[in-house]
Structure 1
Amino acid sequence: MLKISRLSSTRDVKDFISLPTKIYKDHPLWVPPFRHEIKAIMKGKGSNLFSNGPHEFFLARENGSVVGRIAVGIEQAMNREKGVDHAYFTLFESIDSKIVADALLKTAESWAKNMGMKFIKGPVSPTNGDDFRGLLVDNFEDPPAILMPYNPPYYIDIFKEYKVYLKYLAFRYNLENVISEREIKGTEIAMRRYNFYVEEANFKHIKNLARDIHKITVESMPEWEEDIIKPTFDEIFQAARTLKLVADSRMVIIARSEGRPIGYFVAFPDFSPIVREIGGKLFPFGWYKFLTKRKTIERVRAAILFVVPEFRNRGVPSAMFVKAYKNVREMGYKIIEGSSVSWMNSTMIANALRAGGEEYKHYIVFGKNLIKRPLSLREIYGYAADRFSSKERVLV
Structure 2
Amino acid sequence: MKFLHSDGETNIYELTSPKELKRFISFPDRLYIENPNYVPSLMMDEMENLRWDKNPAFEYCDARYFMALRGGKPVGRVAAIYNRRFNEIWKKRCVRFSRYDVIDDLEVSRLLLSQVETWAKELGMEEVQGPMGFCDLDHQGLLVEGFDEKGLFITTYNHAYYMRHLEALGYQKFTDWVEMKMEKPNVLDPRIRKIAEYSLHKLNLHEIRLKKTKDVLPYAKQIFELLYEAYKDIYGVIPLNDKQVELYIGQFIMLVKPEFLALIADENDNPVSFGVVIPSLAETVRKCKGRLFPFGWVHLLRYLAAKKHDTLEFLLIATKPKYWNSALGAAIIVHTFEGAEKYGIRYAQTGPMLETNSRIQSMWSRFHAETHKRRRCYVKPLEKKSGEQN
Q: TM-score, normalised by structure 2?
A: 0.87
Structure 1 segments, 4+ long, off by >4 Å, are 8-12, 48-51
Kindly provide the amino acid, as one letter, of the partner of residue 231 in structure 1: L
User: What's the counterpart of residue 362 of structure 1?
Assistant: 374
1:83 aligns with 91
| Structure 1: distance between partners of 2:48 and 2:248 | 16
Name 1:322's counterpart in structure 2.
334
Deviation digits for residues 122-181 of structure 1, max 9, x if unmatched?
Answer: 111246425x31111111222112111111122121121211122111111211443312
CA contact (8 A) 2:41 2:153 kept: no
Where do 1:38-77 residues align within 5 Å? 38-45=46-53, 47-77=55-85
| SS of corresponding position for 1:319 | helix
What is the one-letter code of the residue matched to 2:287?
E
**Worse-superposed segment, 229-238 or 334-343:** 229-238
Q: Distance in 2 between matches of 1:54 and 1:234?
A: 17
Q: CA RMSD in A?
A: 2.4
Deviation of the 1:75 alpha carbon: 0.7
Question: Counterpart amino acid of 2:359?
Answer: T
Q: Which SS does the other structure have where 2:145 is aligned?
A: coil
The correspondence of residues 42-191 of structure 1 with structure 2, limited to 5 A, is 42-45=50-53, 47-126=55-134, 128-130=136-138, 132-160=139-167, 161-191=170-200
Q: Which moved more, 1:75-84 or 1:209-218?
A: 209-218
In structure 1, the residue corresponding to 2:150 is in which secondary structure?
A: coil
Q: Find the aligned partners of 1:209 and 1:65 in 2 and give their Cα distance.
A: 47
Q: Which residue of 1 aligns with 2:34?
A: 26
Letter in 1 for 2:143: L
Structure 1 residue 283 displacement after superposition: 0.7
Aligned to 2:265: 256
Deviation at 1:238, TM superposition (A): 4.3
* 2:349 is the alignment partner of 1:337: yes
Residues 220 and 308, structure 1, Cα contact 8 Å, conserved in 2: yes
Q: Do 2:219 and 2:271's aligned partners in 1 also have CA atoms closer than 8 Å?
A: no
- Within the alignment, does 1:226 sit opposite 2:215 as a pair? no
Match in the other structure for 1:194:
203
Q: Is the 8 A contact 2:172 2:380 kept in 1?
A: yes
* One-letter amino acid of the counterpart of residue 76, structure 1: R
Where do 1:264-279 residues align within 5 Å?
264-279=274-289
Quick one: structure 1 residues 233 and 291, their matched pair in 2 at CA, closer, same or farther if it must change by over 3 Å? same
User: How far is 1:69 from its partner?
Assistant: 1.0
Could you say what secondary structure the match of 2:352 adopts? strand
Per the TM alignment, residue 344 of structure 1 is displaced from its structure 2 partner at its CA by: 2.3
Does structure 1 conserve the Cα–Cα contact (< 8 Å) formed by 2:264 and 2:272? Answer: yes
Q: Matched residues in 2 for 1:237 and 1:39: separation?
A: 16
Alignment partner of 1:54: what SS?
Answer: strand
Matches of 2:84 and 2:18 in 1, distance apart? 27
Displacement of 1:237:
4.3
Residues 135 and 237, structure 2, Cα contact 8 Å, conserved in 1: no
Question: What is the distance in 2 between the residues matched to 1:63 and 1:215?
Answer: 49
C-alpha distance in 1 between matches for 2:111 and 2:336? 47
Could you say which residue in structure 1 is the equivalent of 2:256? 247
Q: Is the contact between residue 86 and residue 121 of structure 1 (CA under 8 Å) also seen in structure 2? A: yes
- Paired residues of 1:54 and 1:74 also in contact (CA < 8 A): yes
CA distance in 1, matches of 2:341, 2:194: 18
**Pick from 224, 228, 240: which aligns with 1:214?**
224
Point out the more displaced range, 133-142 or 55-64. 55-64
Deviation of 1:370 after TM superposition, in Å, equals 1.0
Judge which range, 201-210 or 332-341, deviates more: 201-210
Q: Which moved more, 1:310-319 or 1:349-358?
A: 349-358
Contact 2:56/2:241, CA 8 A, preserved across alignment: no
Q: Give how far 1:41 is off.
A: 2.7
Distance in 1 (alpha carbons) for counterparts of 2:54 and 2:323: 32
Q: Is the 8 A contact 1:301 1:337 kept in 2?
A: yes
Q: Residue type of the partner of 2:180?
A: F
Shifted more, 288-297 versus 242-251: the winner is: 288-297
Give 2:4's aligned residue. Answer: none
Are 2:182 and 2:369, in contact at CA under 8 Å, matched by a contact in 1? Answer: yes
State how far apart, in whole Å, the 1-side matches of 2:293 and 2:135 are: 22
Q: Percent identity?
A: 23
**Kept after mapping to 2: 8 A contact 1:253/1:320:** yes
Q: Residues 241 and 56 (structure 1 numbering): CA distance in 2 closer, same or farther, change over 3 Å?
A: closer
5+ residue gaps, structure 1? 374-378, 380-396
Counterparts of 1:58 and 1:45, CA distance in 2:
18
Gaps of 5+ in 2: 1-8
Q: Aligned to 1:183, what secondary structure does the other structure show?
A: helix
Residue 46 of structure 1: how far off its partner (Å): 5.1
Residue pair 1:217, 1:230 contacting (<8 A) in 2 also: no
- Contact kept in structure 2, 1:46 and 1:127, CA below 8 Å: no
**2:320 equivalent to 1:308:** yes
Q: Tell me the amino acid that sits aligned with residue 116 of structure 1.
A: G
> In 1, are the aligned partners of 2:175 and 2:377 still within 8 Å (CA)?
yes
Contact residue 297 and residue 333 of structure 1 kept, 8 A: yes
Check conservation: 1:47, 1:127, Cα contact below 8 A.
Answer: no
Distance in 2, matches of 1:42 and 1:293, equals 26
Question: Is the deviation greater in 36-45 or in 55-64?
Answer: 36-45
- Indicate if the aligned counterparts of 2:12 and 2:66 stay in contact, CA closer than 8 A: yes
